């Protein structure tokens, strides 16, 4: 009979493959429209045809080539939770054509897709994303059709095998998959070794390696027929409840590929460890002896990568946990901004950046002068000046409306008040730089850097620019209206920022700066209707450049949701990684005990200490523990050397220096202690068993 550990691994592989496939396909559905054969990005236009003409041309194309074509647009008010698909089909009975009547079959319940006839697009700007459903060759023909209409486009196949592999290998799911693969290989190898005596009996009966392997595979096939049926039944029931079995074929294909990869690895490990057991003579194998040297090396070939993976995951968990706690604490602050929104710009206007900057920048300047927006741009303080060495920190470029909404106190406890002005008065106002007391000695350098921070100012504006330096009480946290844009780090509340306060609507902020802040969610409309009315006005044409508004509170809630999901995935990976460490630690001790059982007993009755008896295994584990303990500090030191080399040449480093925090040291210490204690405990158990069995035999 197969060892129950082997059966458990194969059952776990099926379950984990289904779970991973679910998370992967759900992410795909939230990112793009499933079922497509190609995605086309129209990124430029010579404006020789109208949007309605393009729509009619697409409808004719779909009939001529017997395919379905759809244009994707985000929802104006909820771009993170809903999209609109404008579809035309030349094959009335195709799956895509049925969406017009039955709706899009959503795999994810967190993202909605509304389907409309393509005629409803009207005169919308044609630049954006299109999907082709049907023949993939038709996508190239559609690109040629777009070219005839004066549109430049590119085509890609996001659901092709190659693209799916690249997408999967570039995410957190892949690292979790690697940890699971290591765990499966480790448990399989351990289970085969634990069955070494049973395999020795089969060898004694004249069975060859291939005979025994074939026997195991036959038993696995029987087990698989039961396990696969049970897992499939449960998965189908859960998917039926979750999404009505939408995109079942894609889900099943991804699950099958993932399970196939894991099964191949597990079977390879099974065969390799089984071959190792054949390196021991039959009579010695019947006594429980193992191929110690080879098994020992193989175990450490798994153990060392598992340790490095677990260390990396644990460090990420420490950061992710802090991020989740910070985001949860900030939810009340976001709730106070009410219906405030940021804007999302059209990313398909390649080559027309100057026009976007001009149109959007001028509109935002007018809105700023009217008091309709809050400006909350961000800069790293260290990057503010190339002439002075400024400390780490953050600089917020804000308007007077921001100062009216946020309470910033001076050293005496008085609030810095906004200054109301309009027109020429705003142009004549000085830029106020509010520096916290803790950065007081850098105040002159910070003030001198302000003209460069504000961007490419008009020479006349730069020449007459006046900068007034004020002080703020240290220890204050200022709400920045967004999370700061760094992954796994919520900086919604900025502690002791430098505030650069620019008069509302003045030319001190360039059109480029307004547009750049908008792309970074640094332009906030407290009343979303102000933005929506401007987008809907035909005379402004802003609907071409601004695609949607994004509620500030909703953005924060989605960020918290994603952070929590990421933390859960990393915790699962860490549990699997620690399981591998424990299994390999026990395996090392098991191999050592089997190989040296007689010597251990002899040394014990001769009065040898525990440490002296097991000095080899303890020395190896000690070296491994030291290696893990110093791995991260050495990596940080090397990065600091690289930063210092860039700085010595007068070149800004392409990455910020990393600092080791107390939580990092705690994670490293916890992992090392877990690894060492697991080995010591397992070694003590095996030592006691050897002594007990040896005493009983005497």
User: Which one is predicted more confidently, 4 or 248?
Assistant: 248
d(CA 379, CA 376) in angstroms, rounded, equals 10
- DSSP assignment of 212-235 equals HHHHHHHHHHHHHHHHHHHHHHHH
Q: Average pLDDT in the 86-95 region?
A: 91
Decide: 173 and 24 in contact? Cβ < 8 Å: yes
Per DSSP (E only), the strands in 437-518 are 467-472, 477-479, 493-495, 498-502
- DSSP assignment of 328-379 equals HHHHHHHHTTTT-EEEEE-TT-TT-HHHHHHHHHHHHHHHHHTT--EEEEEE
Q: Average pLDDT in the 475-499 region?
A: 87
Res 452: pLDDT: 82
Indicate the pLDDT class of residue 423, thresholds 50, 70 and 90: very low
Indicate the pLDDT class of residue 24, thresholds 50, 70 and 90: very high
Closest of 138, 140, 47 to residue 88, by C-alpha: 138
Q: Average pLDDT in the 253-272 region?
A: 94
Q: What is the mean pLDDT of the chain?
A: 85
- Per residue in 187-197, pLDDT (tens digit) is 888 888 878 88
Q: Average pLDDT in the 484-513 region?
A: 86
**At a CB cut-off of 8 Å and minimum separation 6, what does 186 contact?**
302, 306, 580, 583, 584, 587
Look at residue 267 and tell me whether its pLDDT is greater than 50: yes
Res 279: pLDDT: 81
CA distances from 390 to 119, 385, 386 (A): 56, 7, 9
Structure tokens at 512: 């480029």
d(CA 259, CA 231) in angstroms, rounded, equals 12
Residue 434: strand pairing partners: 470, 499
**At a CB cut-off of 8 Å and minimum separation 6, what does 353 contact?**
none
What 3-state DSSP class applies to 72?
A: strand
Percent of the chain with pLDDT over 70: 94
Give 398: exposed, middle or buried? Use CB within 10 Å, 0-12, 13-18, 19+.
buried
Q: Average pLDDT in the 114-138 region?
A: 90
Give 516: exposed, middle or buried? Use CB within 10 Å, 0-12, 13-18, 19+.
middle
d(CA 528, CA 24) in angstroms, rounded, equals 34
Res 28: pLDDT: 94
CA distances from 218 to 190, 192, 198, 215 (A): 20, 16, 17, 5
Structure tokens at 298: 């193989």
Indicate the pLDDT class of residue 288, thresholds 50, 70 and 90: low
User: Which one is predicted more confidently, 107 or 690?
Assistant: 107
d(CA 406, CA 436) in angstroms, rounded, equals 15
Res 644: pLDDT: 72
Closest of 106, 509, 519 to residue 342, by C-alpha: 519
d(CA 403, CA 407) in angstroms, rounded, equals 7
Residue 513 sits at the vertex; the CA angle it makes with 512 and 516, to the nearest 5 degrees, is: 85
Look at residue 649 and tell me whether its pLDDT is greater than 50: yes
Decide: 23 and 214 in contact? Cβ < 8 Å: no
DSSP H or E stretch at residue 394 = strand 394-399
3-state secondary structure 289-312: CCCHHHHHHHHHHHHHHHHHHHHH
In the chain, where the domains are located: 33-157, 301-340+552-698, 347-544
DSSP H or E stretch at residue 87 = strand 82-89
Q: Average pLDDT in the 322-341 region?
A: 87
How many CB atoms neighbour CB 62 within 10 A? 26
The phi, psi pair for 76, rounded to 5°, reads -60, -40
d(CA 179, CA 583) in angstroms, rounded, equals 13
Q: Note the pTM of the prediction, 2 decimals.
A: 0.84
Q: Average pLDDT in the 54-67 region?
A: 93
Helix residue ranges, H only, 382-477: 400-405, 424-428, 443-453, 459-463
Indicate the pLDDT class of residue 597, thresholds 50, 70 and 90: confident
Res 382: pLDDT: 80
- Per residue in 602-628, pLDDT (tens digit) is 887 888 888 888 888 888 888 888 888
d(CA 444, CA 521) in angstroms, rounded, equals 29
Decide: 96 and 569 in contact? Cβ < 8 Å: no
């Amino acid at each position: 009979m197969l060892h129950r550990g082997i059966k458990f691994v194969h059952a776990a592989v099926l379950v984990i493959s289904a779970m991973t496939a679910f998370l992967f396909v759900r992410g795909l559905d939230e990112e793009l429209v499933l079922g497509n054969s190609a995605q086309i990005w129209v990124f430029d236009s010579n404006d020789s045809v109208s949007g309605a003409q393009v729509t009619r041309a697409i409808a004719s194309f779909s009939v001529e080539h017997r395919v379905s074509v759809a244009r994707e647009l985000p929802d104006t008010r909820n771009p993170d939770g809903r999209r609109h698909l404008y579809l035309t089909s030349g094959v009335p009975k195709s799956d895509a054509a049925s969406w017009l009547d039955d709706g899009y079959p959503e795999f994810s319940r967190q993202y909605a897709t509304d389907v409309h006839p393509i005629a409803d697009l009207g005169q919308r700007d044609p630049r954006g994303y299109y999907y082709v459903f049907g023949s993939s060759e038709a996508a190239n023909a559609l690109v040629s059709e777009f070219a005839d209409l004066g549109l430049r486009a590119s085509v890609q196949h996001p659901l092709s095998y190659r693209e799916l592999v690249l997408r999967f290998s570039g995410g957190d799911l892949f690292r979790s998959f690697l940890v699971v693969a290591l765990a499966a290989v480790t448990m399989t190898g351990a289970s085969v070794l634990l069955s070494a005596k049973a395999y020795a009996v089969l060898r004694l009966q004249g069975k060859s390696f291939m005979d025994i392997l074939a026997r195991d595979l036959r038993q696995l096939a029987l087990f698989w027929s039961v396990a696969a049926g049970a897992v499939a039944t449960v998965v189908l029931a859960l998917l039926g409840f979750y999404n009505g079995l939408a995109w079942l074929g894609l889900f099943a294909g991804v699950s099958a590929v993932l399970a196939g990869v894991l099964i191949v690895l597990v079977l390879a490990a099974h065969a390799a460890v089984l071959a190792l057991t054949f390196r021991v003579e039959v009579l010695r194998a019947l006594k429980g002896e193992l191929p110690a040297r080879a098994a020992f090396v193989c175990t450490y070939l798994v153990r060392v990568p598992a340790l490095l993976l677990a260390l990396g995951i644990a460090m990420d968990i420490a950061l992710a946990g802090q991020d989740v706690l910070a985001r949860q604490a900030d939810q009340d602050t976001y709730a106070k901004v009410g219906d405030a929104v940021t804007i999302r710009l059209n990313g398909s206007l390649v080559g027309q950046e100057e026009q976007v900057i001009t149109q959007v920048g001028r509109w935002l300047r007018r809105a700023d002068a009217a008091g309709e927006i809050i400006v909350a741009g961000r800069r790293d303080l260290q990057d503010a000046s190339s002439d002075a060495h400024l400390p780490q920190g953050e600089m917020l470029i804000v308007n007077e409306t921001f100062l009216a909404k946020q309470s910033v106190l001076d050293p005496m406890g008085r609030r810095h008040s906004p200054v109301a002005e309009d027109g020429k008065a705003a142009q004549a106002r000085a830029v106020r730089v509010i520096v916290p007391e803790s950065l007081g000695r850098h105040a002159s350098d910070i003030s001198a850097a302000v003209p460069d921070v504000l961007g490419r100012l008009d020479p006349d504006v730069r020449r007459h620019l006046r900068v007034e330096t004020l002080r703020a009480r240290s220890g204050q946290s200022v709400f920045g209206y967004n999370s700061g844009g760094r992954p796994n780090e919520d900086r919604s509340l900025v502690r002791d920022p430098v505030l650069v306060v620019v008069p509302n609507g003045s030319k001190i902020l360039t059109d480029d700066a307004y547009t750049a802040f908008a792309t970074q969610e640094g332009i906030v409309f407290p009343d979303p209707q102000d933005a929506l009315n401007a987008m809907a006005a035909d005379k402004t044409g802003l609907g071409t450049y601004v695609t949607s508004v994004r509620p500030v509170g909703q953005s924060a809630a989605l960020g918290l949701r994603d952070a929590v999901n990421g933390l859960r995935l990393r915790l699962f990976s860490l549990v699997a990684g620690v399981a591998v460490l424990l299994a390999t630690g026990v395996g090392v001790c098991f191999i050592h005990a089997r190989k040296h059982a007689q010597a251990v007993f002899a040394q014990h009755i001769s009065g040898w200490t525990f440490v002296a008896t097991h000095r080899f295994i303890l020395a190896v584990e000690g070296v491994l523990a030291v290696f893990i303990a110093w791995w991260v500090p050495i990596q940080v030191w090397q990065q600091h050397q690289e930063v210092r080399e860039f700085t010595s040449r007068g070149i800004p480093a392409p990455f910020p220096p990393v600092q080791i925090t107390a939580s990092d040291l705690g994670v490293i210490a916890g992992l090392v202690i877990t690894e060492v204690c697991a080995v010591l405990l397992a070694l003590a158990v095996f030592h006691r068993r050897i002594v007990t069995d040896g005493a009983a035999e005497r």
